[in-house]
Amino acid sequence: MGAKDVLVVGGAGYVGSHTVRYLVRKGYRPVVFDNLSTGHRASVPRGVPFVKGDLLKPASIGRALEKAPFAAVFHFAAKALVGESVENPALYYRENVTGTLNLLEAMLAHRVKRIVFSSTAATYGNVEAVPLTEDHPKNPCNPYGFTKWAIERMLEDFHAAYGLRSVRLRYFNAAGCDPSGEIGEDHDPETHLIPNILKAALNSRRKMKIFGDDYPTIDGTCVRDYIHVTDLAQAHVLALDAMKKDVHCDAFNLGNGNGYSCMQVVEAARRVTGRSIAVTVTGRRPGDPAILVAGADRARDVLGWSPAHDSLDEIVETAWRWMVAHPRGYVG
């Protein structure tokens, strides 16, 4: 088996492309498989093989798995917009659940024995305790969260029945960009807070919309845990190392364990950019918990994960560097 050969499904997307860079730095040989529905060909480094294919077409994933004796698959591909999942759940069950089932069946057929899966804090749903630990009840409150939880259960069943090893990484809010400023976050529509605040910093005619300022938090706006995308990348590689040893089927939260309110993030962006950022407050969005903060001790203890970027200003600064260099994203 090529211990350094790994297939990165969804590797042209935001978190996937940062993980590909990290893998290359660590001496792995990634191959990227992506349908470019939300990803960008330009985010894949020169020299990294790229296969354009779709998880809903099992033959294309089979062909990709023939490219090398892969030691593992990293699976980032998904539809990931909460609002869209409420409006069109069929799309989410098809893309996320059926797409992943196709991937797992192809892995079994090609004897690929390990997978690291991008899960999410949205699997917890209504929050009963903060910080959230992995054993918190799972009550997803939208189809997106349900599809991710269904996949987690599917991975447990595939481990029990077929011995397929898996680590599910439950990200909190992925944020920041590669410090080089060469790759970054470029979604359309963009629903994430930090890039939207920075777009308002770049264009003074834009106002940053904050959803609700009457939550029981420090300043009334929602509190979230922002985790740097290269710290997420590090966790993926550690998860693969752990699966080669004694972690065979497990789930870990990935967050900094610090919560910041939306207004605190706006203040950080004002400090970092030196610009005044106009804010407008609208009503709450249904289904937004007041506070989401990760208890991520297990990832530190079991995987040996040590996030390097725990300062909000530093996270925002890396995102700003990318945005200043690429105000129109990858198109520019």
Closest-CA residue to 107 (of 116, 96, 118, 94): 116
Cβ-based neighbour number of residue 221 at 10 Å: 23
Catalytic one of 22, 92, 144, 260? 144
Reply yes or no on whether 260 is catalytic: no
Alpha helices in the chain (DSSP H): 14-25, 58-65, 82-87, 89-92, 99-109, 143-162, 193-202, 229-244, 262-273, 297-298, 312-325
- State the minimum distance, in angstroms, from the CB of residue 78 to ligand NAD: 3
178 binds ligand NAD, rule: CB under 6 A: no
Find where tokens 């099992």 sit. Answer: 58
3-state secondary structure 163-174: CCEEEEEEECEE
Q: How many residues bind ligand NAD (CB under 6 A)?
A: 27
| 120, 166, 217, 273: residue in contact with ligand NAD (rule CB under 6 A) | 120
| 20, 68, 151, 174: residue in contact with ligand NAD (rule CB under 6 A) | 174
Closer to ligand NAD by Cβ: residue 152 or 278:
152
Closer to ligand NAD by Cβ: residue 87 or 214:
87
Hey, which residues between 187 and 216 contact ligand NAD (CB under 6 A)?
187
Hey, which residues between 12 and 41 contact ligand NAD (CB under 6 A)?
12-16, 34-39
Pair type for strands 249-254 and 291-292: unpaired
Cβ-based neighbour number of residue 282 at 10 Å: 10
CB contact at 8 A, 243 and 3: no
76 binds ligand NAD, rule: CB under 6 A: yes
Closer to ligand NAD by Cβ: residue 53 or 268:
53
Phi-psi region of 159 (alpha: psi -120 to 50; beta: other; left: phi over 0): alpha
- State the minimum distance, in angstroms, from the CB of residue 313 to ligand NAD: 19
Closer to ligand NAD by Cβ: residue 196 or 220:
196
230 binds ligand NAD, rule: CB under 6 A: no
Between 46 and 65, how does the x/- string for binding to ligand NAD read (CB under 6 A)? Answer: --------xxx---------
Closest-CA residue to 141 (of 285, 262, 288, 259): 288
Closer to ligand NAD by Cβ: residue 99 or 143:
99
How many whole angstroms separate alpha carbon 19 and alpha carbon 10?
10
How many whole angstroms separate alpha carbon 175 and alpha carbon 254?
12
Give the residue numbers annotated as catalytic, written as ranges.
144
Binding site for ligand NAD (CB under 6 A): 10, 12-16, 34-39, 54-56, 76-78, 80, 95, 99, 118, 120, 171, 173-174, 187
